[in-house]
Amino acid sequence: MLNIVLFGPPGAGKGTQSARLIEHYGLVHLSTGDLLRSEISAGTELGMKAKSLMDAGILVPDEVVIGMIDNKLSQNPESKGFIFDGFPRTIPQAEALDKLMESRSISISGMIALEVEEKELISRLLIRGQSSGRPDDQNEELIAQRVKEYNTKTAPVASYYKGQDKFHSVYGIGDIDQIFSELCRVMDSLS
Distance CA 123, CA 45 (A): 33
By CB under 6 A, which span of 86-94, 108-116, 158-166, 173-181 interacts with ligand ADP?
86-94
By CB under 6 A, which span of 59-67, 73-81, 103-111, 164-172 interacts with ligand ADP?
59-67
Confirm or reject binding of residue 54 to ligand ADP (CB under 6 A).
Answer: yes
Side chain identity at residue 96, one-letter code: A
Asked if 11 and 125 count as a contact pair (C-beta separation under 8 A), the reply is yes
31: helix, strand or coil: strand
Q: Which of residues 7, 87, 160, 161 is near ligand ADP by CB under 6 A? A: 87
Distance CA 133, CA 66 (A): 27
3: helix, strand or coil: strand
Q: How many helices (H) and strands (E) does the chain have?
A: 9, 5
Asked if 129 and 11 count as a contact pair (C-beta separation under 8 A), the reply is no
Confirm or reject binding of residue 187 to ligand ADP (CB under 6 A).
Answer: no
Closest approach of Cβ 140 to ligand ADP, in Å? 14
Confirm or reject binding of residue 110 to ligand ADP (CB under 6 A).
Answer: no
By CB under 6 A, which span of 39-47, 52-60, 70-78, 99-107 interacts with ligand ADP?
52-60
Of 39 and 182, which has the nearer Cβ to ligand ADP?
39
Confirm or reject binding of residue 65 to ligand ADP (CB under 6 A).
Answer: yes
Q: Which of residues 3, 17, 18, 32 is near ligand ADP by CB under 6 A? A: 32
Confirm or reject binding of residue 30 to ligand ADP (CB under 6 A).
Answer: no
Distance CA 39, CA 60 (A): 13
Distance CA 28, CA 23 (A): 9
Residues 139-158 that bind ligand ADP (CB under 6 A): 146
By CB under 6 A, which span of 18-26, 82-90, 110-118, 176-184 interacts with ligand ADP?
82-90
Distance CA 185, CA 4 (A): 13
Asked if 177 and 14 count as a contact pair (C-beta separation under 8 A), the reply is no
Q: Which residues bind ligand ADP (CB under 6 A)?
A: 10-11, 32-33, 36, 53-54, 57-60, 65, 86-87, 89, 93, 136, 146
